[in-house]
Amino acid sequence: MSKIQSQIFQNWTFKACEDQEWMPAQVPGCVHTDLLKLDKIPDPFYGTNEKEVQWIDKKDWEYRTEFDVNEDLLSQEHLQIVFEGLDTYADVYVNEQHVLSADNMFRVWSVDVKSIVKSNDNVLRIRFRSPIQEDLPKLEKLGYALPASNDQSDVGGLGDKRVSIFARKAPYHYGWDWGPRFVTSGIWREARLEGWSEVKINDVFIRQNEVTASVASLTAIVEVETASPIETVIRIGTDGQTWEQTAALQSGVQTIEIPIAIDAPKLWWSRGLGDPHMYSFVTEVLQGEQVVADSTVKTGLRSIRLVRDKDEAGASFYFELNGVAVFAKGANHIPNDSFITEITAERYRHEIVSAAESNMNMLRVWGGGIYEEDVFYELCDEYGLLVWQDFMFACSMYPGDEAFLNSVKHEAIDNVKRLRNHPSIVLWCGNNEIDSAWAHYIEDGGWGWKKDYNAEQREKIWADYEAIFHELLPEVVEAYAPGVDYWPSSPLVSLTGDEKQHAHPSTAEGDIHYWGVWHSVEPFENYNVHVGRFMSEYGFQSFPEYKSVRKYAEEEDLALESEVMLAHQKNGAGNRLIKQYMDMYMHEPKDFPSFLYMSQVLQAEAMKTAIEAHRRRKPFCMGTLYWQMNDCWPVASWAGMDYFGNWKALQYYAKRSFSDVLISVDGTKEDATDIYLISDQLQPVEGRLQVRLIGFDGTVYREEKHAVALESNSGKLVLSLKSSDWLQGHDAATTLLRLDLKQDGHADIVQEHYFAPSKDIGLKKAAIQVTEVQENDGVYLVLESDVLAKQVWISSEAEGVFSDNFFDLIPGIPVKVQFTSREGLQNAGAASETGAIQVRSMADFIKL
pLDDT in tens, 159-192: 999 999 999 999 999 999 999 999 999 999 999 9
Q: What is the DSSP string of 293-317?
A: EEEEEEE-B--EEEE--B-SSSB--
CATH for 219:
2.60.40.10
What is the rounded CA–CA span in Å between residue 651 and residue 641? 7
Task: Give dist(CA 389, CA 376) in Å, integer.
Answer: 12
Task: State if pTM tops 0.85.
Answer: yes
pLDDT tens digits, 303-336: 999 999 999 999 999 999 999 999 999 999 999 9
**Rounded CA separation 180/569 (Å):** 9
> Are 582 and 443 in the same domain?
yes
Same domain, 496 and 587: yes
pLDDT of residue 3: 80
pLDDT of residue 208: 98
- The domain of 250 spans 198-299
Domains in the chain, number: 5
Amino acid at 354: S
318 inside domain = no
Same domain, 434 and 569: yes
pLDDT of residue 1: 44
Is 326 a domain residue?
Answer: no
One domain, residues 641 and 665 = no
Question: For residue 155, what is the domain's CATH number?
Answer: 2.60.120.260
**Does 321 map to a domain?**
no
Residues 6+ apart with CB under 8 A from 310: none
**Which among 251, 281, 299 is the end of a domain?**
299
Sheet strands (E) in 711-848: 714-722, 735-742, 749-754, 768-775, 778-785, 789-796, 800-802, 807-809, 815-821, 837-840
Q: Is 508 exposed, middle or buried (0-12, 13-18, 19+ CB in 10 A)?
A: middle
pLDDT in tens, 521-569: 999 999 999 999 999 999 999 999 999 999 999 999 999 999 999 999 9
The verdict on 382 and 504 lying in the same domain is yes
Per-residue confidence (pLDDT) for residue 643, from 0 to 100:
98
Tens digits of per-residue pLDDT, 244-258? 999 999 999 999 999
pLDDT band at 794 (very low <50, low <70, confident <90, very high): very high
Which pLDDT band, with edges at 50, 70 and 90, does 483 fall under? very high
Residue-wise pLDDT for 260-286, tens only, equals: 999 999 999 999 999 999 999 999 999
Q: How sure is the predictor about 831, in pLDDT bands with cuts at 50, 70 and 90?
A: low
Q: What pLDDT is stored for residue 205 in this prediction?
A: 98
Tell me, yes or no, whether 460 and 539 share the same domain: yes
Q: Cis ω on the peptide bond leading into residue 619 (within 30° of 0)?
A: yes
Same domain, yes or no, for 682 and 788? no
- Let me know if residue 153 belongs to a domain: yes
Characterize 224-242 residue by residue with b for buried, 16 or more Cβ atoms within 10 angstroms of its Cβ, and e for exposed. Answer: bbbbeebebebbbbbeeee
Beta sheet of 807-809, edge-to-edge order: 807-809, 789-796, 837-840
In a domain, 322, yes or no: no
Work out the pLDDT band at 832, boundaries 50, 70, 90.
confident
Are β-strands 230-238 and 279-287 bridged in parallel, bridged antiparallel, or unpaired?
Answer: antiparallel
Output the 3-class SS for 219-284.
EEEEEEEECCCEEEEEEEEECCEEEEEEEEECCEEEEEEEEEEEECCCEECCCCCCCECCEEEEEE
Residue where a domain stops, chosen among 144, 168, 193 = 193
Q: Which of 198, 284, 433, 784 is catalytic?
A: 433
**433 in active site:** yes
How confident is residue 2, by pLDDT bands cut at 50, 70 and 90?
Answer: low
24 shares its domain with 138: yes
Instruction: Say which amino acid occupies 807.
Output: F
Among 123-132, 395-404, 465-474, 666-675, the least confident range: 666-675
Boundary of a domain, candidates 617, 639, 657: 657
In a domain, 821, yes or no: yes
Distance between CA 272 and CA 683 in Å, rounded? Answer: 11
